[in-house]
Amino acid sequence: MKRVITYGTFDLLHYGHINLLKRAKQYGDYLIVGLSTDEFNWNEKHKKTYFSYEKRKQLLESIRYVDLVIPEENWEQKVSDVNEFHVDYFVMGDDWTGKFDFVQEESNAKVIYLPRTPEISTTQIKNDLNR
Ligand code: C2G
């Protein structure tokens, strides 16, 4: 069984996120999502989420491509997550290109950056709604 992991906030879930999850799943049979906790978002990403961690987890768990959702509580947990879950592929959008190459050096996982879906983002949604 090939295992894949990805991480994110996934707040105001949209088709760009779904496209990423769908493509990530194509690398294996089991997709784990490291979902940023409310505290991690606020303290580390300075992002206040619209939906709480529990609501965002519920949404992600309802997506056919997602097999397991775990909390992302800090930047440092990635290599231990990859080892703990015997992950083969670490997949992120290419806005993160290069940022997680260390995972490939420190584990058996292969790091893959996939093109983001253009023209959609949570910021875009919020701006459009405020027009
Ligand atoms: N994404 C995408 N296309 C978009 C928007 C997002 O492919 N139009 C991808 C991002 O590249 C990321 C994933 O969807 O791989 C989740 O996006 P966010 O929720 O914005 O996650 P982010 O804030 O980038 O947090 O430790 C890693 C971080 O937790 C990633």
Q: Which atom of ligand 1 is nearest to the CA of 94?
A: 11
Most ligand 1 atoms within 8 A of CB, residue of 7, 11, 13, 17 to mutate = 17
Right CATH number for 3-129 from 3.40.50.970, 3.40.50.620, 3.40.50.1220, 3.90.550.10? 3.40.50.620
Residue 118 pLDDT level (bands cut at 50, 70, 90): very high
Of 10, 20, 16, the residue nearest 41 (C-alpha): 10
Q: Which atom of ligand 1 is nearest to the CA of 34?
A: 29
Given a cut of 90, whether residue 131 has pLDDT beyond it is: no
For the chain, which residues make up each domain, given as ranges? Answer: 3-129
Each residue's pLDDT tens digit, 54-74: 999 999 999 999 999 999 999
**Lookup result for tokens 């190459």:** 101
Q: How close are the terminal C-alpha atoms of the chain, in Å?
A: 47
Q: Which residues are catalytic?
A: 45, 47
CA 86 – ligand 1 centroid, Å: 22
